[in-house]
Amino acid sequence: MSRVFARLAPPVLAPVLVLMLVAAALVGMDPTEAAATQGARRPSAAPPGSLDPPDPYFPGLGNRGYDVEHYDIGITYDPRSASPAGSPPGNAADHKAGELRGDTRIRATATERLARFNLDLVGFDVASVRVDGRTATFDRTEHDLRIRPQAPIAKGEPFTVRVRYSGVPLPDQIPGLGLQNGWLLDSDGAATLNEPDGARYWFPGNDHPSDKATFCFRIDVPTPLVAVANGMLESKVASGARTIWSWNETAPMATYLSQIAIGNLDLRDEAPVDGVAIRNAFAPGSAPKAAAAAKDTPEMLRFLSGWFGKYPFSTYGIMVPDGRPRGLAFEAQTFSIISKDLFEKPDFASAILAHELSHQWFGDSVSPKTWDETWLNEGFATYGEWLWADHALDDPLQDEVDRAIRAVHRSPDVATDDPGIDQMFGPVPYERGGLTLHALRLTVGDETFAAILRTYLARFGGKSATTEDFIGVANEVSGQDLTSFFRSWLGPGPLPQFPKTAAPLGSDPPAALTIAVATR
């Protein structure tokens, strides 16, 4: 949410940070990995603990050689059960997470012959790893769990992995923002924040948005704490002093969009909206303000569906955890997480909710294939936010456009689709991304603009996409070659002039789509 981040201190020492990451990437590629890769049947530059090619901003995220279909994540958590001595170094004073016991089962398919493979995981003691039910050997690097099954897995074979681990989760930092993510504490429990690389701080997986999978969560907490996660609540089973909360997300999801919150949450089922089940979870004291803001969800869903097409998931709601983090909003799939301080000003909260709801189409249903292209999330969610602000908040679209022009004025050298790791959540992917979409709308007209968005969503929903994919759809649906239009709008370079229109554009969705949405 752009305005939230505008209130944060701008990142300092950005070039130093980038250098540190490059150094870390080099360290990650140890000589044994390189040697092992050379001997592989399909020679590749990338070690198993890295994608091929590696993510341009996070060379250590994601792994080669398999495709995850499903995660079954078991978490047993006891808030603050750890002794202070058990707190991680570096952040001991403000990070006193409790003990977490994890049991993750993964169903995957080998995309090459696997004598060994990696999962992303940071911290914890790993007790055991099983591949297809048989004990596997493993060791650790700083960010990976390296696994060697008893026998190699053939290319194309499905396989299962089960990892049992425990410990106090380590804190992570969001690149360029200096904010904590990963497993965060709450006054009475915990909440996670995983974009872009926090998921590996609490479960082992292929922590990269190019590999989406379905998820279920079994969260075992002391009664009467409530545990929420993405998707639908399957069951809640109390036994003795503990309750196991099972949640199920049946649509493919990127690991960074997974989300847990544990606390004294008030979990409320609301009336469904056009077949979409609605539930919200409020920390003590966050309702009635948060609940009042969430009352707009039905109208927001219907309004945004008018532009983007059918809502892509079976359920939606917001979770408002207690305590930290402050000033943050995040588009966890089906269950956006919003910190409770953001509900103080109703219009501000409403714009944030529209931004996060827009992300359910852009970011969640269609995820970015690589982390240099956050504008595919943020530019589109920003545009959804502008449309809602015009429609419902007395904030004309043209005013939002003018504000965005001022916001990116000083960054002509930043490319929207490659802003650099320190600006991946900076103003350019949000504001210039939104301006690019506005310019596209002015160029092709409302019907074609909506048809482009819907075709992109239909074609890449449940998967990940690139800027090239979006431009390809725009060209195809509009029947024009918009490639150089996108190059000049996305930058780098000064902002182009908007095409002249007779009247300023509003936010009403087009009444009829003149161009059919093609799914190919």
The yes or no reply on residue 195 touching ligand TRP (CB under 6 A) is yes
Smallest separation (angstroms) from Zn ion to the CB of 1? 5
d(CA 9, CA 151): 51
Span 181-200, contacts to Zn ion by CB under 5 A: none
d(CA 149, CA 152): 6
Stretch that binds ligand TRP, among 80-88, 329-337, 395-403, 410-418 (CB under 6 A): 329-337
d(CA 206, CA 254): 9
The yes or no reply on residue 1 touching ligand TRP (CB under 6 A) is yes
Q: Which residue of 120, 144, 296, 378 would you call a contact of ligand TRP, by CB under 6 A?
A: 378
193 binds, among Zn ion, ligand TRP, none (CB under 5 to 8 A by kind): ligand TRP
Stretch that binds ligand TRP, among 34-42, 202-210, 291-299, 326-334 (CB under 6 A): 326-334
Of 201, 254, 195, the residue nearest 71 (C-alpha): 254
First and final C-alpha spacing in the chain: 33
d(CA 180, CA 192): 10
Smallest separation (angstroms) from Zn ion to the CB of 206? 23
Smallest separation (angstroms) from ligand TRP to the CB of 443? 26
Smallest separation (angstroms) from ligand TRP to the CB of 338? 9
The yes or no reply on residue 181 touching ligand TRP (CB under 6 A) is yes
d(CA 62, CA 60): 7
Residue number with the smallest Cβ distance to Zn ion: 381
The yes or no reply on residue 372 touching ligand TRP (CB under 6 A) is no
Span 328-387, contacts to Zn ion by CB under 5 A: 378, 381
201 binds, among ligand TRP, Zn ion, none (CB under 5 to 8 A by kind): none
188 binds, among ligand TRP, Zn ion, none (CB under 5 to 8 A by kind): none
d(CA 242, CA 78): 10
Span 377-416, contacts to Zn ion by CB under 5 A: 378, 381
The yes or no reply on residue 353 touching ligand TRP (CB under 6 A) is no
The yes or no reply on residue 380 touching ligand TRP (CB under 6 A) is no
The yes or no reply on residue 328 touching ligand TRP (CB under 6 A) is yes
Smallest separation (angstroms) from ligand TRP to the CB of 402? 21
CB 258 within 8 A of CB 337: no
Q: Which residue of 161, 170, 261, 329 would you call a contact of ligand TRP, by CB under 6 A?
A: 329
What phi and psi, each to the nearest 5 degrees, are found at residue 130? -120, 135
Distance of CA 242 to the CA centre of its chain: 30
Q: Own/partner pairs for 478-481, CB < 8 Å, 24+ apart?
A: 478/444, 478/448, 478/452, 480/444
330 binds, among ligand TRP, Zn ion, none (CB under 5 to 8 A by kind): ligand TRP
The yes or no reply on residue 304 touching ligand TRP (CB under 6 A) is no
> What is the four-CA torsion angle of 88, 89, 95, 96, rounded to 10 degrees?
50
The yes or no reply on residue 331 touching ligand TRP (CB under 6 A) is yes
Please count the residues of this chain forming the interface with ligand TRP, following the rule CB under 6 A: 13
The yes or no reply on residue 249 touching ligand TRP (CB under 6 A) is no
Span 421-480, contacts to ligand TRP by CB under 6 A: 425
d(CA 43, CA 39): 7
Span 433-472, contacts to Zn ion by CB under 5 A: none
The yes or no reply on residue 191 touching ligand TRP (CB under 6 A) is no
Smallest separation (angstroms) from ligand TRP to the CB of 9? 15
Q: Which residue of 75, 163, 174, 293 would you call a contact of ligand TRP, by CB under 6 A?
A: 174
Of 378 and 446, the one with the shorter C-beta distance to ligand TRP is 378
What is the DSSP track for 391-436?
HHSS--HHHHHHHHHHHHTT-TTSBTTB--GGGTTSHIIIIIHHHH
The three-state secondary structure class of 282 is: strand
The partner residues of 366 in beta bridges, in order of sequence, read 362
CB 202 within 8 A of CB 169: yes
State the amino acid at position 139 in one-letter form.
D
Count of CB atoms within 10 A of residue 502's CB?
Answer: 4
- Residues with Cβ < 8 Å from 448, sequence gap 6 or more? 477, 478, 514, 515
CB 61 within 8 A of CB 206: no
Of 143, 150, 151, the residue nearest 47 (C-alpha): 143
Smallest separation (angstroms) from ligand TRP to the CB of 382? 8
Interface residues toward ligand TRP, by CB under 6 A: 1, 174, 181, 193, 195, 328-331, 355-356, 378, 425
Interface residues toward Zn ion, by CB under 5 A: 378, 381
